């Protein structure tokens, strides 16, 4: 007697699409075959539906202290939203407080997340203080299962590290099998451009984008690639927004460097036009939204495999937090974890841009390989965690505030209707969301240790 059987599904992995059934016992996948000749406590007929590995959202910031406030989704509400969007693992960013150590920060984040998470999670570590103690602790942290580090070239007053610090951390991380993620924007230029615009009284949301134009990001990506090249460290550009940056990453990868990149659902959906809408502040995130041409190049980058992952950069703020006198004071960030799959399916697979296997690569297989979670996560294979999502390709849903689960009072996707929607999310064998309703439990998610970044690079 099995716990769960899903029959007649169109099963999608990173390399194949086939009709079949899946059996689940004790939270693991135990059977993958045409038919399963056993009974189960629950049997679902998934005829006409797709069955994918649960998504791994490699980029979330739940209850993150930032720009004088805290992001409004905590680990509970944020993972409710994740579950309802087909995400079964988030990789959240622990933020080392100034003066603190990264090992203490790890403990702090575990204490915040463990009692609240409804799906499994792993952690990246944001290092803000470059000093001997934190440098030494990198090795210990990797042993604890936090194998990726995020460093900021931007946010001069809050999170910024200079190139020497970034190089030195890369140099240490690579020794112990870690991965360095970089927020690539030139902090000095942003300060200079923003000060000029504000002094001219240009305070509206559209000047947020003008204060950090595309080349400010491209320059930082180029620099990041050179720092990775000098240190020998693998490097992952988070939330890439521009077509030109994509070209730089491709050029670095073509030269044999282990450089990877991620983009986000908002860059694939909107352009800078959104900043001129009545609530333009709500679309403020960094890097900012770009042009139509950039958006097209990002889709193409995903389609042809130059961009390896889609993470959400989920960090949301309610309308009151977003309502500020000028763009430089608006907390940066938008929702995302719940919309990755609907956006990529509807605007990617549905429009013939992304093959189904590529969808699985960029949303689960590649992040699981990069962050050391494979094959526990990101695989439909016997022995892997039963983290699965059933998608109804014909279900249309408006991504309005009423249909989404984040703790904010609006949706930037209010006018976006998608076709193709997750209807069942399974986390280690348990149903955590069904037909748009959260059915999981607070605190049921577990911390997942990342394995070291392999010396022989993952084949993505």
Contact positions vs Zn ion (CB under 5 A): 313
Q: Residue 228 is inside which H or E element, if any? A: helix 214-231
Least Å distance between CB 143 and Zn ion? 25
79 DSSP assignment: H
CA distance 432 to 412: 25
Least Å distance between CB 200 and Zn ion? 29
- CB closer to Zn ion out of 14 and 313: 313
- CB closer to Zn ion out of 31 and 322: 322
CA distance 185 to 198: 19
| Under 8 Å between Cβ of 289 and 272 | yes
Q: Residue 382 corresponds to which tokens in the numbers above?
A: 């016997």
Least Å distance between CB 260 and Zn ion? 16
- Residue number, nearest CB to Zn ion: 313
CA distance 15 to 28: 21
Query: Which residue carries 């940066």 as its tokens?
Result: 332
**Do strands 259-263 and 28-33 pair parallel, antiparallel, or not at all (unpaired)?**
unpaired
- CB closer to Zn ion out of 249 and 316: 316
Least Å distance between CB 324 and Zn ion? 19
Alpha helices by DSSP H, 255-379: 265-269, 292-303, 319-322, 340-343, 356-360, 366-370
Least Å distance between CB 118 and Zn ion? 21
Sequence-distant (≥ 6) Cβ neighbours of residue 459 within 8 angstroms: none
Q: Residue 386 corresponds to which tokens in the numbers above?
A: 């039963």
- CB closer to Zn ion out of 30 and 71: 71
- CB closer to Zn ion out of 294 and 313: 313
- CB closer to Zn ion out of 177 and 333: 333
Least Å distance between CB 439 and Zn ion? 28
- CB closer to Zn ion out of 231 and 312: 312
Least Å distance between CB 59 and Zn ion? 6
Number of other residues whose CB lies within 10 A of the CB of residue 16: 11
């Amino acid at each position: 007697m099995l716990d769960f059987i899903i029959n007649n599904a169109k099963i999608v992995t990173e390399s194949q699409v086939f009709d079949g059934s899946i059996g689940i016992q004790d939270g693991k996948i135990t059977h993958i075959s045409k038919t399963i000749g056993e009974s189960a406590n629950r049997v679902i007929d998934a005829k006409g539906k797709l069955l994918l590995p649960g998504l791994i959202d490699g980029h979330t910031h739940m209850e993150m202290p930032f720009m004088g406030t805290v992001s409004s989704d905590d680990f509970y509400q944020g993972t409710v939203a994740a579950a309802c969007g087909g995400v079964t693992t988030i990789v959240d960013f622990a933020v080392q407080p100034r003066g603190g150590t990264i090992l203490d920060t790890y403990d702090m984040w575990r204490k915040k997340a463990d009692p609240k998470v409804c799906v499994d999670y792993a952690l990246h570590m944001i290092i803000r203080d470059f000093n001997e103690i934190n440098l030494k602790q990198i090795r210990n942290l990797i042993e604890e299962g936090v194998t990726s580090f995020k460093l900021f070239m931007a946010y001069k007053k809050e999170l910024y590290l200079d190139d020497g610090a970034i190089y030195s951390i890369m140099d240490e991380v690579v020794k112990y099998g870690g991965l360095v993620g970089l927020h690539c924007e030139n902090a000095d230029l942003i300060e200079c451009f923003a000060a000029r615009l504000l002094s001219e009284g240009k305070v509206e949301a559209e000047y947020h984008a003008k204060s950090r134009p595309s080349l400010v990001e491209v320059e930082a990506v180029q620099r990041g690639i050179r720092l990775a090249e000098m240190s020998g460290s693998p490097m992952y550009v988070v939330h890439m927004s521009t077509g030109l940056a994509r070209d730089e990453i491709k050029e670095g990868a073509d030269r044999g460097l282990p450089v990877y990149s991620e983009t986000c659902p908002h860059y694939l959906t909107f352009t800078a036009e959104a900043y001129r809408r009545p609530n333009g502040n709500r679309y403020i995130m960094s890097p900012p939204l770009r042009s139509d041409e950039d958006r097209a190049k990002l889709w193409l980058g995903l389609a042809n495999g130059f961009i390896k992952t889609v993470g959400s950069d989920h960090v949301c703020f309610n309308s009151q937090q977003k309502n500020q006198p000028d763009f430089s004071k608006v907390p940066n960030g938008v929702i995302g974890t719940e919309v990755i799959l609907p956006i990529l399916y509807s605007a990617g697979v549905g429009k013939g841009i992304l093959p189904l296997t590529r969808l699985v690569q960029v949303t689960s297989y590649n992040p699981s390989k990069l962050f050391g979670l494979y094959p526990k996560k990101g695989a439909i294979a016997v022995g892997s965690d039963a983290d699965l999502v059933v998608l109804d390709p014909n279900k249309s849903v408006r991504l309005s505030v009423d249909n989404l689960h984040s703790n904010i009072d609006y949706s930037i996707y209010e006018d976006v209707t998608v076709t193709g929607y997750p209807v069942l999310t399974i986390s280690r064998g348990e149903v955590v969301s069904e037909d748009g309703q959260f059915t999981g439990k607070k605190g049921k998610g577990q911390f997942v240790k990342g394995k070291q970044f392999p010396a022989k690079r993952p084949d993505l």
